[in-house]
């Protein structure tokens, strides 16, 4: 009995420590974003807000301040297009991977699993060259073209997982009823994976929204710069003077992805762990 | 005529194979074409560019220069050695810390606690936070004048004078690793949790009957059964950290000087700060060779898993 109690105390204090480590830096960001400058640049930092203010947020979005609207719009367009294209390609490919045996399947599965390992710096220079050759540097379509390489492999895995969860009898029944294989896919199975498809495309949206490294090399003006680039510029220009504004901008950038993620977490987590751990 | 026949037959058989599997092939075609162009081609292309003199200003058309870029990096570049050592420190340090915290947290979140699903969700927040915002959060905590860390450490008497954590060669690595642990441990924890959930309850019950509990149960039951999953997760994390340019860039940009430069940031510095795309590709080439070796190890682990399920 006492040992059980000791165990519980250990568990709860462990949980408390981990959650404090996870959330306190975050809380500090949010709290600071509501403070006026005098409270931010102070020698004795306080967790209480004395004079609550929206001014930092007005500065982040307003035309006289950081004016982040255009960056947000670029990001919504880029991440939205990435999500839609990913949904189309990944549902087709995921269905093939889940339901068919064909020569080359194992190699493809391996390639999908390994492709995240070659993201970032190894392919930065080639990506720059490809988009330059296609005349797509500093354009949103160019960004989308690159972002698909981030989202597609893992989303194919996710979709394959969702399709595997459906009973095979469904297709058999559809085929008997005279649907072709594509009809069975498009009219019977796809609608049944809609929740999974929604989670997958929202995940793709979050991945594209969060990208910094590719936007850094592939965009150069408000024509295509994403919100992450906008934030990076704020850091460069106002890093010494307006931390409140920077932090409000950071909160605004994070809010959509955290909300989306909380919403899709359950459907996603299972797929992601299954994809990485089992092949 | 007779010499042509076998190839014709082979072609016919190949065609028949494709026709037989036309449904999956057609469904996969767009994705495979895309991945060939935007995943496979870039990886191969970087090796080609690494043996050219490509330069963003001076030489926009690549000319073959043999192994010159590699020789220059390995023989003449005074910073390269340090950067390579940094890469090892960064990769192993960051992965080890993420693993330890991830393992501890997964054990806690695998226990029967009220609100377990909620805590798991909260835990994942740093993982989805945009990397720039991670940079904002930690730069402000580490700030040399107004930072929380300085304030609390001085209050508790651990330091006399404020430290500029990210600009001091002695403190920049611990600061970087702490921030990276914060950002990366949830992913590790998630994977290990999935691994823990595959351990059947009966085994724990059997261990209870045998009188094993607490530390001994963890050491003799949980850890051995978690080992395969832990191995895979660690390998993946090693590679992802090896290529992680963003975390370092948003906090230090590889500085002060080259103190926190790793291969991943050096590719960017060479290619897009100094415009030496050829030389930058050579850095990427060296880096990718190491990743390929790690991937071979990964493939091997997976194959062993398949044999003993």
Note whether B265 contacts A: Cβ–Cβ < 8 A: yes
pLDDT at residue B188 tops 80 = yes
Task: Give contacts of A115 with chain B, Cβ < 8 Å.
Answer: 35, 39
Among B125, B148, B193, the residue with its CB nearest the CB of A26 is: B125
Regions of chain A where pLDDT drops below 70: 1, 275-279
CB pairs under 8 A between A and B: 271
Mean pLDDT, to the nearest integer, of B195-201? 84
Indicate the pLDDT class of residue B10, thresholds 50, 70 and 90.
confident
CA angle (B54, B59, B62) in 5-degree steps: 45
pLDDT score of B20: 87
pLDDT of B1 reads 45
- Nearest residue of chain B to residue A211 (CA atoms): B130
Which residues, 6+ apart, have CB-to-CB distance to B120 below 8 Å? A269, B109, B193
pLDDT of residue B120 exceeding 70: yes
Task: Check residue B256 and give its pLDDT.
Answer: 87
Highest mean predicted confidence (pLDDT) among A60-64, B198-202, B303-307? A60-64
Which structural domain range is residue A196 located in? 69-277
Q: Does B155 touch chain A (CB under 8 A)?
A: no
Nearest to B132 among A18, A146, A212 (CB): A212
Nearest residue on chain A to B49, alpha-carbon basis: A126
CATH number at residue A160: 1.10.3720.10
Task: Please report the pLDDT score of residue A275 as a whole number.
Answer: 64
* Spans of all domains in chain B: 76-307
Give B299's contacts in chain A (Cβ within 8 Å). Answer: 110, 114
Mean pLDDT of B147-165: 90
- ipTM over 0.85 threshold: yes
Give the one of A114, A182, A185 whose C-beta lies nearest to B295's C-beta.
A114
pLDDT at A131: 95
- Compute the distance between CA of residue A94 and CA of residue A102 in angstroms, rounded to an integer: 14
pLDDT of residue B309: 40
Quickly count: other Cβ atoms within 10 Å of residue B155's Cβ.
10
Residue of B nearest to A273 (CA): B191
Q: Which residue stretches of chain B are H helix?
A: 5-20, 22-35, 41-49, 68-71, 80-110, 116-123, 125-128, 131-141, 148-155, 172-197, 201-209, 214-217, 223-242, 246-251, 263-268, 277-307
CA-nearest residue to B271 within chain A is A125
Interface of B with A in 125-144 (CB under 8 A): 125-126, 128-133, 135-141
pTM: 0.91
Q: Which residue has the higher pLDDT, B297 or A143?
A: A143
Judge whether A93 lies within some domain: yes
Looking at the structure of chain A, the number of domains it has is: 1
Predicted pLDDT of residue B210? 76
Q: What is the pLDDT of residue B87?
A: 95
- Contact residues on chain A for B126, CB-CB shorter than 8 A: 22, 26
Q: Which residue of A has its CA nearest to B303?
A: A279
Closest residue of chain A to B294, computed from CA coordinates = A117
Distance separating alpha carbons of residues B8 and A109, to the nearest angstrom: 30
Question: Residue A26 falls within a domain, yes or no?
Answer: no
Q: What's the mean per-residue pLDDT of chain B?
A: 88
**Contact with chain B for residue A22, Cβ under 8 A:** yes
B6: confidence class by pLDDT, cuts 50, 70, 90:
low
Residues from chain B that touch A90, judged by Cβ atoms under 8 A, are 31
- The answer to whether the beta carbons of residues B211 and B245 sit under 8 Å apart is no
Class of domain B76-307: mainly alpha
Give yes or no for residue B207 having a pLDDT over 90: no
Give the distance between the most distant pair of CA atoms in chain A: 76
Look at B240 and A117 and tell me if their CB atoms are within 8 Å: yes
Q: Residues 6 or more apart from A102 whose CB is under 8 A from it?
A: A96, B21, B24, B25
Q: How many angstroms separate the CA atoms of A122 and B243, rounded?
A: 8
- Whether B288 sits inside 8 A of A118 (CB atoms) is yes
B287 contacts A120? CB cut-off 8 A: no
Residues in CB range of A255: below 8 A, 6 or more apart: none
pLDDT tens digits, one per residue of B18-58: 888 888 999 999 999 999 999 999 999 999 999 999 998 88
Q: Domain for residue A192, yes or no?
A: yes
pLDDT greater at residue A89 or residue B120:
A89
Residues from chain B contacting residue A128 (CB–CB below 8 Å): 271-272, 277
Q: CA distances (Å), A271 to each of A151, A156, A160, A183, B18, in order?
A: 14, 10, 9, 26, 30
| Closest CB to B284 among A23, A125, A235 | A125
Contact call for B190 and A269, based on CB within 8 A: yes
Predicted pLDDT of residue A65: 82
């Amino acid at each position: 009995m006492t040992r059980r109690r000791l165990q519980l105390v250990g568990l709860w204090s462990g949980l408390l420590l981990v959650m404090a480590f996870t959330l306190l830096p975050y809380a500090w960001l949010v709290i600071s974003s509501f403070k006026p400058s005098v409270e931010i640049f102070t020698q004795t930092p306080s967790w209480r807000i004395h004079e609550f203010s929206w001014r930092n947020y007005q500065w982040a979005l307003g035309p006289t301040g950081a004016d982040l609207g255009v960056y947000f719009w670029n990001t919504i367009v880029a991440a939205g297009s990435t999500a839609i294209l990913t949904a189309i390609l990944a549902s087709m490919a995921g269905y093939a991977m889940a339901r068919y045996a064909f020569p080359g399947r194992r190699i493809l599965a391996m390639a999908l699993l390994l492709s995240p390992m070659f993201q970032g710096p190894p392919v930065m220079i080639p990506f720059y060259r490809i988009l330059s050759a296609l005349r797509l540097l500093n354009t949103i379509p160019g960004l989308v073209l690159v972002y698909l390489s981030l989202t597609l492999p893992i989303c194919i895995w996710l979709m394959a997982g969702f399709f595997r969860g459906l009973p095979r009898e469904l297709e058999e029944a559809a085929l008997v009823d005279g649907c072709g294989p594509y009809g069975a896919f498009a009219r019977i199975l796809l609608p049944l994976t809609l929740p999974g498809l929604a989670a997958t495309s929202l995940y793709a949206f979050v991945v594209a929204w969060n990208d910094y490294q590719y936007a850094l090399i592939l965009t150069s003006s408000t024509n295509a710069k994403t919100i992450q680039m906008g934030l990076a510029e704020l850091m460069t220009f106002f890093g010494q003077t307006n931390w409140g504004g920077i932090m409000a901008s950071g909160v605004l950038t994070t809010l959509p992805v955290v909300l989306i993620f909380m919403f899709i977490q359950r459907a996603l987590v299972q797929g992601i762990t299954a994809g990485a751990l089992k092949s | 005529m007779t010499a042509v026949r076998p190839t014709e037959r082979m072609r016919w058989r190949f065609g028949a194979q494709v026709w037989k599997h036309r449904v999956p092939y057609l469904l996969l075609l767009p994705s495979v074409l895309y991945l060939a162009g935007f995943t496979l081609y870039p990886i191969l292309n970087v090796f080609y560019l690494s043996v050219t003199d490509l330069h963003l200003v001076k030489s926009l058309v690549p000319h073959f220069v043999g192994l010159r870029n590699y020789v220059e990096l390995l023989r003449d570049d005074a910073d390269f050695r340090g950067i390579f050592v940094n890469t090892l420190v960064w990769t192993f340090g960051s992965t080890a810390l993420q693993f330890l915290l991830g393992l501890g947290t997964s054990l806690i979140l695998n226990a029967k606690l009220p609100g377990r699903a909620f805590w798991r969700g909260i835990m994942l927040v740093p993982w989805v936070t945009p990397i720039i915002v991670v940079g904002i959060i930690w730069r402000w905590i580490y700030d040399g004048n107004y930072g929380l860390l300085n304030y609390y450490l001085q209050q508790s008497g651990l330091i006399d004078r404020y430290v500029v954590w990210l600009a001091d060669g002695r403190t920049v690595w611990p600061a970087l690793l702490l921030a990276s642990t914060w950002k990366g441990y949830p992913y590790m924890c998630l994977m290990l949790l999935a691994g823990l959930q595959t351990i059947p309850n009966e085994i724990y019950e059997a261990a209870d009957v045998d009188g094993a509990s607490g530390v001994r149960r963890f050491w003799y039951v949980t850890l051995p059964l978690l080992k395969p999953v832990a191995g895979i997760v660690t390998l993946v994390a090693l590679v992802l950290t090896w290529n992680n340019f963003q975390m370092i860039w948003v906090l230090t940009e590889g500085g002060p000087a080259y103190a926190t430069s790793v291969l991943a940031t050096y590719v960017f510095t060479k290619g897009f700060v100094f415009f030496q795309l050829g030389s930058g590709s050579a850095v990427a080439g060296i880096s990718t060779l190491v990743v390929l070796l790690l991937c071979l190890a990964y493939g091997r682990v997976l194959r062993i898993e398949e044999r003993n399920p």
